[in-house]
Amino acid sequence: MSRDAMRADSVAAQKEVAYLKTLKVGDIRRGVLIPALDVGMEWICTEVGDTRWVFEGRFFGQRVSSLVIERQAELLTLEMKESA
Please write the tens of the pLDDT for every residue from 43-74: 999 999 999 999 999 988 899 889 999 999 89
Q: In the chain, where are the structural domains located?
A: 2-82
SS (H, E, C) the chain: CEEEEEECCCHHHHHHHHHHCCCCCCCEECCCCCHHHCCCEEEEEEEECCCEEEEEEEECCEEEEEEEEEECCCEEEEEEEECC
Domain 2-82: give its CATH code. Answer: 2.20.25
Mean pLDDT of the chain: 87
Q: Cα–Cα distance between 40 and 32 in angstroms, integer? A: 12
Alpha helix (H) residue ranges in 1-84: 11-20
Please write the tens of the pLDDT for every residue from 9-18: 999 899 989 9
